[in-house]
Copies of this chain bind each other. A is one copy, B any other.
Amino acid sequence: MKFSVTILGSNSAFPTSKRFPTAHVLNAHERFFLIDCGEGTQLQIRRNKFRFGKINHIFISHLHGDHYFGIFGLISTMGLLGRKSDLHIFAMPDLETILEFQLRYFYEDLPYKIIFHPLQANEPELIYEDKSITVESFPLKHRIPTCGFLFREKKHDARIKKEMIDFYQIPIRDIVNIKQGADFINKEGEIIPNNRLTFPSGQQRSYAFCSDTAYSEKIVPVIQGVDLLYHEATFLHEKADQAKKSGHSTSQQAAQIAKKANVKKLIIGHYSSRYKDVKPLVDEARTVFRESYPAIENESWEVPFITRDQVEAK
B-chain residues with CB within 8 Å of residue A98 when the two chains form the complex: 98, 101-102
A105 and B15 contact, Cβ closer than 8 Å, known pairs A39-B42, A39-B70, A40-B43 = no
Of B13, B66, B106, the residue contacting A64 (CB under 8 A) is B106
Contact digits for A92-123, partner B, Cβ 8 Å, 1 yes 0 no:
00100110011001111000000000000000
A65–B69 touching, CB < 8 Å = no
* B residues near A63, Cβ cutoff 8 Å: 105-106
A15 contacts which chain B residues (CB < 8 A)?
A: 42-43, 73
User: Are A65 and B108 closer than 8 Å at their CB atoms?
Assistant: no
- A240 CB to nearest chain B CB (Å): 20
Q: Separation in Å of the A214 CB from the closest CB of chain B?
A: 16
Cβ contacts A72-105/B at 8 Å (1 or 0 each): 1100110010000000000000100110011001
Q: Which of A63, A98, A105 has the most C-beta atoms of chain B within 10 angstroms of its own C-beta?
A: A105
A14 touches B102 (CB 8 A): no
Q: Mark A1-31, 1 if CB is under 8 A from B, else 0.
A: 0000000000001111100010000000000
Q: A15-B43, A63-B105, A101-B97 are in contact. Are A73 and B80 (CB under 8 A)?
A: no
Q: Residue A143 at the B interface, CB < 8 A? A: yes
Assembly CA distance A77 to B69 (angstroms): 12
Bitwise interface map of A from 291 to 310 toward B, beta carbon under 8 Å scored 1, else 0: 00000000000000000000
Contact-residue bracket for chain A:
20 to 34
0/1 interface trace, chain A 21-58, chain B, CB 8 Å (1 if under)? 10000000000000000011011001100000000000
Q: Please tell me if A176 contacts chain B, counting CB pairs below 8 Å.
A: no
A80 with B143, Cβ < 8 A, contacts A39-B70, A64-B105 known: no
Given known pairs A63-B106, A65-B106, the reply for A17 and B46 (CB within 8 Å) is: yes
Contact among B14, B101, B144 for A77, CB-based, below 8 A: B14
Q: State the CA gap A70–B72 with chains docked (Å).
A: 10
A16-B46, A17-B43, A143-B108 as given contacts; A72 in contact with B65, CB under 8 Å: yes
Nearest Cβ in chain B — how far from A41, in angstroms? 9
Interchain residue pairs with CB less than 8 A apart (29): A13-B80, A14-B42, A14-B80, A15-B42, A15-B73, A16-B46, A17-B43, A17-B46, A39-B42, A39-B70, A39-B72, A39-B73, A64-B105, A64-B106, A65-B72, A65-B73, A65-B76, A65-B107, A66-B73, A66-B76, A69-B69, A69-B72, A69-B76, A69-B106, A98-B98, A98-B101, A98-B102, A105-B144, A108-B143
Known: A14-B80, A16-B46, A17-B46. 13 other contacts (CB 8 A): A13-B80, A21-B73, A39-B40, A39-B42, A39-B70, A65-B76, A65-B102, A65-B107, A69-B69, A69-B72, A69-B73, A69-B76, A69-B106
